[in-house]
Amino acid sequence: MAKSLIGNHVRKFRFHHDEMTQQQLADQVGVTRQTIVAIEKGNYSPSLELAFRIARVFGAPIEDIFFLEGEQ
């Protein structure tokens, strides 16, 4: 099972955002905590919809938080 080609700075954004916990972020975007863990660890990439919601929480464009590996 290949890892996804998408990397992200969710963890950094979480800490720079009032030290928000995984659970709090999960609640705000409407997924489970395990989903946030999996995304932060790169186990898989989020759907576009979830990427949008995460970006909204952090008030940043999607491309500030997520990137194609090898493009960063």
Q: Which residues make up the interface to a copy of itself (CB under 8 A)?
A: 1-2, 4-6, 30-31, 45-53, 56, 61-63, 66, 68
CB 29, CB 23: distance < 8 Å: no
Size of the site for DNA (CB under 7 A): 26
Q: For residue 72, what are its two tokens?
A: 């960063």
- Least separation in angstroms between CB 6 and a copy of itself: 6
- Least separation in angstroms between CB 61 and a copy of itself: 6
Which residue is it, tokens 């290949």? 2
- Least separation in angstroms between CB 58 and DNA: 15
Question: What CA–CA distances, in Å, run from 38 to 42, 50, 55?
Answer: 6, 13, 17
